[in-house]
Amino acid sequence: MNIGLIGPGDIGSVIVRKLRDAGYPLKMANPRGPESLKALAAKTGAIPVILEQVVQDVDMLFIVVPQKSIPELPKGLSNKAKKETIVIDVGNYYPFRDGRIDEIENGLTESVWVERQIGRPVVKVLNTIPSKALMAAGRPAGSRDRVALPISGDNPTAKETVAQLIDRIGFDSVDAGTIAESWRQQPGSPVYCTNPTKEKLRLWLKKVDRSSLAANREKGLKAYYPTRDADYQAQIEAHRSVLINE
């Protein structure tokens, strides 16, 4: 399976490393151009290309940019990919970074907003795990403490393909429903950056209170900020301290 990735920044560069370690052919791009990706290319073997090339002839396309940057991507870019290409939305909405997006503030699910911006359906995954945890917390299949990640989308076949990829990079997964229901894995949810097992993930997805997401997102951000330079366990515990109520 050939993969393209837009936005190899903090979390995106870790996704590149994990996918390359799992043996996936991968090309990557950002708005600054291939020269800015030479160091990451040297470390991983991923191929740096321009944005117009990263979507071509790929089976899966990861979009890993801040919400505010989605409308700034070249118009129609994702539609230059094959019709069957699975588009992955890894983003999260944070008003302090992205500015106010009225549609989301008024209740539109974040990934539905992304779909409307790019003109294609997406699968939502990998938005619920910090970059340090993604790099270090993977475990072999069957491990008792294996972290599980929610996957949301409207195409069951696409979600199954994504689940197989997630397994290959060291994580379990749980089908979290349709893309309209992917608010359950947005910032402020108890499944966000708390590294649940599959059993806990299934339980916590049922307990998400949509009306509290925005307030809990800000609580989680405030708890996380002092741990931003700490190890991933400290970051996870910071989120759990304000998002989990068992």
Could you give the CA distance from residue 2 to residue 188 in angstroms, rounded to a whole number? 33
Mean pLDDT of the chain: 97
Q: What is the pLDDT of residue 245?
A: 82
Beta partners for residue 183, in sequence order: none
Mean pLDDT of 89-94: 98
Number of domains making up the chain: 1
The pLDDT value recorded for residue 40 is 98
pLDDT digits over 219-240, tens only? 999 999 999 999 999 999 999 9
Burial of 107 (0-12, 13-18, 19+ CB in 10 A): exposed
Range of the domain at 136: 3-243
Question: Of 138, 156, 136, 157, which is closest to residue 148 (Cα–Cα)?
Answer: 138
pTM above 0.85, yes or no: yes
CATH number for the domain harbouring residue 211: 3.40.50.720
Could you report the per-residue pLDDT of 191-222, keeping only the tens digit for each? 999 999 999 999 999 999 999 999 999 999 99
Tens digits of residue pLDDT in 138-167: 999 999 999 999 999 999 999 999 999 999
pLDDT of residue 246 exceeding 80, the answer is no
Per-residue pLDDT tens for 22-53? 999 999 999 999 999 999 999 999 999 999 99
Helices (H) and strands (E) in the chain, counts: 11, 8
